[in-house]
Each structure stands twice: as structure tokens, then as C-alpha cells.
Amino acid sequence: MSTFDVPSKALMIVLSSAAGLTAEKRKQQGQQELFYQFSRKSQGYFSFNVLALRLRDNKVHRQQKNALTRSNGNVLLIIAHPDDECMFFGPLLLKLLQEPKVNIYVICLSSGNFNGLGSSRKREFFKSCTALGLKEENCFIEDIFNLATCQFLDNPLEEWPKESIAELVFEFIKKYNINLIFTFDEKGISGHLNHRSIYYGLRNLDFFMKSFFSNNSRFLIKKLSQKEVPTVLTLTSVSIFRKYIGIFDLLFSAHQERICVSSAEQVSVIRKAMRAHHSQYVWFRKLYVYFSRYVYINTFTAMK
């Protein structure tokens, strides 16, 4: 072996080692870059703020725009208790408020006096509606049109008379020319009988209107018979699992035709409205406004 061969081999070993180190370093850098990109992508997809913003350009946004806001007119939301407007219908109300040609009315049938706090809850209802951006003069609670709304007592075990609900809603339709109604579905989201009673009262609305026309003069029939029963859309009840997975319920809801999805800013507004209900803002409702899908998502079905 020549003296030239020894340093040559040594040099080759050093160079190959250096190349191996460089390749390993590049591999580590590549893994770090890949991890960084994955982290950025994960944060982008799973961060609520980014997810909500991206919804503006996807199928969900196109669906909610077409199905819920393509018609102009007067919209009525019927709820059972103060705080229902923000606990369940916040995404809907904030979506409708973006439409300049839509007038929104809210009827709350009871004062929520189950625990003797009716007077306080009435005041909280108006504060909450104002926080959401609704006009206070378009929000009504109890004693509506001087009808006997005292029969709508806040009680989770009491059904409300469907005929009285139909009568009240009919009077509202006549006065404010309502052409679209939103309310609870037959399960009432939580199974609350007061919520469910509104649904069955509206199911009785068509019969009530026909009875009214048949018992009045020809003048009234001619004047009012053109008024059809407004379209009624009911808020979809979901399983207890889906109810508390927040924004991730989009995995199950994104295909729905009638859907409203809140942005991060709108969720903050809904939480602010819930805080206006001081008497009800206890620990489990504080958790509710972070985990309930109804703070983030509303889906609706047409009443048949």
C-alpha cells in the first residue's frame, strides 16, 4: 500500500462521514419543516376562528345563504323562555340580521317564572335581544295583544294549550304580515314540554286560520283568505353527543340545506347575550356556551 493510498482513504472516510451528517441534518430539517407545516395546517383546520372564516367560501355558506336569506320580508321567532333566543337560536338571528330587507320579530311566550324570577328575567330578555342586535320594539314577552298569555306558565312538565298558541301567532301574522316562522321542533331540543308545545301549536295554525275564515264575514274572507300559513322552519334536535361537540358537529351537519354557522365574532356576541341573563348564568350554562353546537350551528327542517 502506498503512502498516497492511506490519506486518500482517510479523506474519503471523512468526506463520506460529513456527507452522511449533512444528509442526516437535512433529513431532520425536512422532518422539522414537515412537522411545522403539519402544525400550521392543523391549527388552520382545527382552530375555530380559521374554520369559521373558511366556511364563508364553501358549500355550507352557499347553502345557508340560498336556503334562509333568499326571501325578503317579516320573520318571526317563537320561543318559550327568556334565554332561548341566545341559547338555541343565536346563529340564526345573527345571520338574519345581516340581511337588510328582513325584519325580525321575537315572541317569548312566558316570563320564565318557574323559580319566581319572572320580573328579572323579562328585563334580561330585552338586554339579551339588544346585545344580539335586535330592535327592542320588535321583541315581545308575555301579555302580547292583551291575550291570556298568563296560561303559558314556565314548567318543564306542563303542556301549553295549542289552540291558544295558534290564536296568538295568527294575531301576530295579521298585524305584522309574517311570512316565515322559526321555532322548536317536536322534540324541543331538550325535551322541555313548553318547547314542544309551541311546535304542536303551530301544527294547529292551519286549522285555526280556516276556522277563523269560516266564522267571519265574506269581507274578512275576501281580505284575509289570500294570507296562507307562513312557512314554518323548526330547529333540529340532535343526540346528546352531538349537542355538546360544538363546532365539530359540522361533521354531521354540513350537508344540511338549511344551516347557519356562526363566525368567531358572532359566537362572542352570543356569549355576551347569554351573560345578560344574570339570573340564569350559572356554572353549567357557562360551560354550555362553549360546548353546545347550538351556539355555533343551527339547522332547520320545514314543518310539513
Specify the CATH number for the domain of residue 107. 3.40.50.10320
Residues 6+ apart with CB under 8 A from 272: 131
Pair 270, 90: CB distance under 8 Å: yes
Band of residue 45 on the pLDDT scale cut at 50, 70, 90 = very low
Whether residue 229 sits in one domain with residue 93: yes
Q: How confident is the model at residue 223 (pLDDT cuts 50, 70, 90)?
A: very low
Closest CA to 64 of 98, 107, 105, 87: 98
Reply yes or no on whether the pLDDT at 89 is more than 50. Answer: yes
Contact 118, 88 (CB under 8 A): no
- Whether 41 and 65 map to the same domain: the answer is no
pLDDT reading at 235 higher than 70: yes
* 54 inside domain: no
Whether 52 is covered by a domain: the verdict is no
Q: Is 154 left (phi over 0), alpha (psi -120 to 50) or beta?
A: beta
> What pLDDT digit, counting tens, does each position of 287-303 carry?
999 999 999 999 999 99
Q: Residues 161, 249: one domain?
A: yes
HSE (side-chain half, CA atoms, 13 Å) at 94:
29
198-206 mean pLDDT:
91
- CA atoms within a 13 Å half-sphere pointing along the CA-CB vector of 67: 20
85 in Cβ contact with 128 (< 8 Å): yes
Residues 105 and 11 in one domain: no
Q: What is the largest CA-CA distance in the chain?
A: 125
Q: Are residues 13 and 153 in the same domain?
A: no
In a domain, 130, yes or no: yes
Q: With respect to residue 233, please indicate whether it lies within any of the assigned structural domains.
A: yes
pLDDT at position 55, please? 46
Whether 130 and 29 map to the same domain: the answer is no
Domain annotation covers residue 227: yes
Alpha carbon 24 to its chain's center: 52
Mean pLDDT of the chain: 80
Q: What pLDDT was estimated at residue 11?
A: 44
Same domain for 137 and 159? yes
265 falls in which pLDDT band (50, 70, 90)? Answer: very high
Query: Which residue segment(s) compose the domain that 166 sits in?
Result: 59-302
Residue 229 lies in a domain: yes
The answer, yes or no, to whether residue 66 has pLDDT greater than 90, is no
Examine the domain organization and report whether 228 and 194 are in the same domain: yes
Give yes or no: residues 217 and 276 share one domain: yes
Total number of domains constituting the chain: 2
Q: Is the pLDDT of residue 217 over 70?
A: no
Q: C-alpha cell of 77?
A: 321567532
pLDDT (average), residues 20-36: 49
**CA quadruple 86, 92, 98, 100: dihedral positive or negative?**
negative
Tell me how far apart the alpha carbons of residues 144 and 126 are, in angstroms, rounded to a whole number.
15
- Residue 76 within any structural domain of the chain: yes
Do 196 and 92 lie in a common domain? yes
Of residues 206 and 91, the one with the higher pLDDT is 91
Residues 74 and 189 in one domain: yes
Residue 38 has pLDDT above 50, yes or no: no
Distance CA 226, CA 223 (A): 7
**Whose grid coordinates read 305584522?**
176
Strand stretches in 113-230, DSSP E: 139-141, 178-184
- Checking phi first, is residue 116 left (phi over 0); if not, alpha (psi -120 to 50) or beta? left
Q: Is the pTM of this model over 0.85?
A: no
> Is it the case that residue 110 has pLDDT exceeding 50?
yes
Same domain, 33 and 71: no
Contact residues for 122 (Cβ-Cβ < 8 A; gap 6+): 82, 111, 141, 142
